[in-house]
Structure 1
Amino acid sequence: MKLDKNNVFANLPSVLPDEIFQTLVHTQHVKIERIMSYGHGSEAGFWYDQDQAEWVLVLQGQAQLEFEDKVITLAAGDYLNIAAHIKHRIKWTTPSEPTLWLAIFYS
């Protein structure tokens, strides 16, 4: 087995016209993504409705996640577990610095 050391904070772009989703690990039951946002939010009317649960951690920056019945603000260090098929969207992410997320999708 080849072991490669990486750093989740490495190679953060200074300009992000679009969010960047980078898969770090993907197996049959788990996917781990690094997500980079910079003032991004979900398009009007768009809702995530995923088949897998998602555990998300904000490593840097801030974000607001909107659910059908509430809005939750996350800052660096905050995490949230979202069950499968819970509709949610990104209301906003910090516009003055990159927001860096770690998302773990699991069955």
Structure 2
Amino acid sequence: MTPELFNLLAQLPLTSEAEDFQTLFESDLVRIERIVSDGQRSDPDFWYDQPHDEWVMLLRGEATLEFESGDLRTLREGDSLLLPARCVHRVAWTGPRTVRLAIHVFG
């Protein structure tokens, strides 16, 4: 069997009102996603409060995360960030054609 080649920056979905989440791999212990944004942000009253760790890397574009503390972190191409379990956050802003890789670790 020959594994299929996949380019994270190719075949990006067309612009839409919602972010595009594509699961690339999933098991009981991990989920790897490609997230494509085009100016989207979290709703003003929505916060992520995940029971698991998430590591995110910005591959293309820019994005700003807001934390419950009020702190902001802007990610640019190549930046990565570990969001520990229960790190309350939301997406404050994304630039056009922004691509993130997210790895969720369960357990």
- Asked if Structure 1 and Structure 2 have the same fold, meaning a TM-score greater than 0.5 normalized by the shorter chain, the answer is yes
Determine the C-alpha separation between the residues in 1 that align with 2:74 and 2:82.
Answer: 14
Name the residue aligned to 1:98: 97
Equivalence map 1:11-90=2 (5 Å)? 11-69=11-69, 70-90=71-91
Aligned-partner residue type, residue 105 of structure 1 = H
Aligned-partner residue type, residue 19 of structure 2 = E
Equivalent pairs, count: 105
The two structures have a TM-score, normalised by structure 1, of 0.93
The CA deviation at 1:14 is 4.1
Paired-residue identity, %:
45
The C-alpha deviation readout for 1:11-64, integer Å capped at 9, x for no partner, is 113422210000000011010000000000000110001111000000000010
The two structures have a TM-score, normalised by structure 2, of 0.93
Aligned-partner residue type, residue 18 of structure 2 = D
Give 5+ residue unaligned stretches, structure 2: none
Q: Which runs of 4+ in 1 moved over 3 A?
A: none
Report the aligned-residue RMSD.
1.1
Give 5+ residue unaligned stretches, structure 1: none
